[in-house]
Chain A
Amino acid sequence: MADNVKPRVRVPRSAVAGEAFEIKTLISHKMESGARKDSDGNTIPRSIIHHFSCDFNGENVIQAALEGAISTNPYIQFEASIEESGTFTFTWQDDDGSEYTDSKDITVG
């Protein structure tokens, strides 16, 4: 697992059914591109978050494939609208196989 990885998510506590609201996500990660070399000339192996997904009550909301050119601490912001109360789950997949998750509850009303 890469060092100092901490997912952060902001979702409103409540929403109006069918009305779009904003979700912000940020995960601290060094996002080593795999293109850099160390002082001895050896390639530093790639170590990035390569996949992000967000689900609501088991249904997929958004998926993103991240590549080596994405800068450190990737920040993803998007909008969603829901019809019922439930839980958003967020998943980031690391090159080293680790998976970081976070979840937020939201109520409609």
Chain B
Amino acid sequence: MKKFTLSATVAVSLACFAGTASAQVSDALVVDGTTISTSAPAADWLDIDQVLSGWSFRTDETRALQMDDFDNPGMIFVDQAIDDWNTVDGTAGKSCASCHDGPESFAGLRAELPRWDEAQGRVMNMEDYINVSRVEHMGAEPWKWAKPRMDAMVALLSLQSRGMTINVAIDGPAADMWEQGRELYYTRVGQLDMACSNCHEDNYGNMIRADHLSQGQINGFPAYRLKNAKLNSTHGRFSGCMKNIRAQPFGVGSDEFRALELYVASRGNGLSVEGPSVRN
């Protein structure tokens, strides 16, 4: 009798597991009545058929947190960024609000970043735009990357593009940098001798110990991670990944990570902007 009970339990738990695995892609991410696309056909230069948001790989509970802005802990930081938006800083005596209509005026920007900026003559990220504004227009100190105030402001500006389709240009003046990023993505580094692609292209959907490997898409960044209860920037996450494979991470804001961000962002073309997302 005892044996029978045990095997029945095993069967039930296996069935549950199979259930969650098959439900992976079909569920829709709906926030405030807006459906956010979490899968899209992959670009033809990719070796995968479909690009999937990291949201698809998380548990039902974690997914649910992102489906309601009240439950999404990342929104706390968005509120903090709104305070910063209205705070005067620097020698020019200006705040963000002095020049811009409102954060809403940045709708669509996140979907295209990183992008080549003709006026600046380089590929710009959200952090670059924030710091250009702070230094050139406000006369304030630039914010450090991957720090709370910067990440919160990136989250506020990303939120304005939520639901919009990622469309990062990989041709034109950004092509060289994109090529460099692609090379980094496929280069094995660190003591474990692994490339980004080994986990996020060859093995997404599989478990790496207790972690469910995603495709490593960055459409949801900055991401609120349950493990550290704060917003995590793209470059901060890249660093974390590199430490995991026992490599010496490139610097946050370095040319290498900028190139990698451009390439990884373009891999998500077709997905929707989710930031601030909730991940574990």
Residues of A that sit less than 8 Å from B by CB: 4, 6, 8, 10, 24, 26, 28, 71-73, 75
**A71-B229, A72-B229, A73-B229 in contact; A4/B80 too (CB < 8 A)?**
yes
Give the residue name and chain of the B residue nearest to A10 (CB). B70
What residues of A have a CB within 8 angstroms of the CB of B79 in the complex?
6, 8, 28
Instruction: Tell me whether B73 and A73 are in contact (CB under 8 A).
Output: yes
**A71-B229, A72-B229 in contact; A24/B70 too (CB < 8 A)?**
yes
Give the residue name and chain of the A residue nearest to B148 (CB). A4
Closest 4 CB pairs of A and B: A28-B76, A10-B70, A72-B229, A24-B70
Complex Cα spacing A32 to B73, Å: 18
What residues of B have a CB within 8 angstroms of the CB of A8 in the complex?
70, 76, 79
Instruction: Tell me whether B70 and A26 are in contact (CB under 8 A).
Output: yes
Complex Cα spacing A24 to B75, Å: 15
Tell me the number of A-to-B contacts counted with CB atoms below 8 Å: 20
Q: How far is the CB of A62 from chain B (nearest CB, A)?
A: 18
Give the residue name and chain of the A residue nearest to B229 (CB). A72
Q: A6-B79, A26-B70, A75-B71 are in contact. List 13 more A-B contacts (CB 8 A).
A: A4-B80, A8-B70, A8-B76, A8-B79, A10-B70, A24-B70, A24-B71, A28-B76, A28-B79, A28-B80, A73-B73, A73-B76, A73-B229
Mask, B62-87, CB within 8 Å of A = 1, is 00000000110100100110000000
CB neighbors of A among B127-171 (8 A): none
Mask, B219-236, CB within 8 Å of A = 1, is 000000000010000000
A-B contact pairs, 18 of them (CB 8 A): A4-B80, A6-B76, A6-B79, A8-B70, A8-B76, A8-B79, A10-B70, A24-B70, A24-B71, A26-B76, A28-B76, A28-B79, A28-B80, A71-B229, A72-B229, A73-B73, A73-B76, A75-B71
